[in-house]
Amino acid sequence: MKPFPRRFPALTAALAASCTAASLVPAETLEYDRSRVAAGEVWRLITGQLVHWTPRMAALDTGMLLGLAIWLEVRGDRRLVALTLALGGGLTALAVHALSPDLIAYRGSSGLASALFVLAAVRIVSATDPVTRNFAIAAVALFLAKAGFEFLAGQTLFAGPLPPGVHVVPLVHLLAGTGGLVGVGRLTREPSGLPSCPIS
């Protein structure tokens, strides 16, 4: 089996720098705010995905996001990661602004992390090792089960308690997660044989 190329994750480093910079300013200055977006501050659709409501939420979201980005990037999927992040970010903005009209404010990078999670699963499913492939399929099933729980319970499964009045938006995870399916098109154009290495 040919090993995947080891590359410096420059894209992930830039993403980590952006998340770090965002954490150094008050979250209110970057969060998605419906009234301010309507007034012309459309950049909040993106910057709102770099700030969080609680330290636990920030650690979970950014840890998952950067961990998946590094894994995908060092194995040679940098362009695919960039495309997935763009799609995931755009779909998150769509879910928040257009499809959730009652949502006033939003923070969180879980949409971006969901997109990379699905992409990683798609890439692993292409592996020839059936155990690894089954692991990826099970991971996607758990991802869908988590979204279902959030829809029914109205609360997060891992991020812990959120501030009063703040609720999870499962639509973000589901819609942004579809951005990770861009890997399917690439799988049809290249041979299988990816390394059998699980997501950490």
Domain limits, the chain: 10-22+29-187
**Residue 3's pLDDT is what?**
54
Q: Are the C-beta atoms of residues 169 and 106 closer than 8 Å to each other?
A: yes
Q: Are the C-beta atoms of residues 49 and 73 closer than 8 Å to each other?
A: no
The topology (CATH level 3) of 10-22+29-187 is Rhomboid-like fold (1.20.1540)
For the chain, give the mean pLDDT: 85
Question: Once rounded to an integer, what is the mean pLDDT over residues 56-79?
Answer: 93
Task: Assess whether pLDDT exceeds 70 at residue 168.
Answer: yes
* Short-list 70, 66, 79, 18, CA closest to 43: 18
The pLDDT tens digits of the residues spanning 99-146 come to: 999 999 999 999 999 999 999 988 887 766 787 778 788 888 888 887
**Residue 1's pLDDT is what?**
46
Task: Assess whether pLDDT exceeds 50 at residue 24.
Answer: yes
More confident call, 190 vs 198: 190
Quick one: CA dihedral 175, 176, 180, 182, positive or negative?
positive
